[in-house]
């Protein structure tokens, strides 16, 4: 398990570094651009990723208690704590946690998934061309299909056979949905825009479970 966690963290570090490189070339307007993550703009999502890589179990518990167990309030407070005075400072803070293995729990695939999903929340609206490796995406897809953790991914995938056409991921039984591993991960994370990359008789069911934004 320790070796597996080390491998997953190495993948997360590589994806953080790739995102930081993409962010380095953004204009001030692009830093304010909407993302796939609700009302958060690009700088908000980056600050959230920094916060997520900076909070351990006990700090997370204290923060959640202080927010009266409202995850949205907890996330907003920690985001504001880690957002800089300028986008450049926000990026510098994010670069400072690229190699972090800090997390509230031992669910390492979920924290790799947080990096992968939020990176695409930023890239897709900006038209930034970067696809995470299938090696990084596959353990996240497997975790999402089996667990409701930070997103209701298991409920979204229930009763469907999900199968990647670019890698080894396959899970579930029922009407089939197939496509790129990235699109399957993002659909399970509730990002409806990625449904257009998927196909199969189970797609209408999957579409009905993923909210449009």
Model confidence pLDDT, tens digit, residues 3-42: 588 999 999 999 999 999 999 999 999 999 999 998 999 9
Find, among 155, 170, 169, the residue nearest to 211 by Cα.
155
Q: How far apart are CA 206 and CA 194, in angstroms?
A: 11
Report how far apart, in Å, the C-alpha atoms of 132 and of each of 18, 91, 114, 137 are. 9, 20, 13, 7
Backbone angles phi and psi of 175, in degrees to 5: -55, 135
Residue 67 has pLDDT above 70, yes or no: no
Mean pLDDT for 178-189 is: 98
Q: Per residue in 39-53, pLDDT tens?
A: 999 999 999 999 999
Q: How far apart are CA 149 and CA 162, in angstroms?
A: 19
């Amino acid at each position: 398990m320790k070796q597996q966690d080390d491998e997953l963290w190495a993948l997360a570090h590589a994806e953080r570094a790739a995102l930081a490189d993409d962010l380095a070339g953004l204009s001030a307007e692009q830093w304010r651009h909407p993302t796939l993550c609700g009302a958060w703009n690009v700088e908000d999502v980056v600050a959230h990723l920094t916060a997520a890589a900076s909070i351990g179990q006990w700090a997370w518990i204290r923060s959640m208690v202080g927010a009266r167990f409202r995850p949205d309030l907890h996330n907003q407070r920690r985001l504001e704590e880690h957002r800089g005075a300028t986008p450049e400072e926000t990026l510098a803070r994010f670069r400072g946690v690229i190699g972090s293995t800090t997390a509230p729990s031992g669910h390492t695939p979920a924290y790799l998934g947080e990096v992968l999903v939020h990176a695409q929340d930023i890239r897709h609206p900006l038209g930034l061309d970067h696809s995470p490796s299938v090696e990084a995406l596959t353990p996240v897809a497997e975790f999402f299909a089996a667990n409701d953790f930070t997103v209701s991914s298991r409920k979204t995938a229930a009763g469907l056979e999900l199968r990647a056409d670019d890698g080894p991921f396959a899970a579930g039984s029922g009407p089939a949905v197939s496509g790129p591993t990235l699109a399957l991960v993002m659909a399970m994370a509730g990002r409806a825009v990625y449904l257009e990359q998927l196909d199969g008789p189970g797609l209408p069911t999957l579409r009905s479970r993923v909210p449009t934004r």
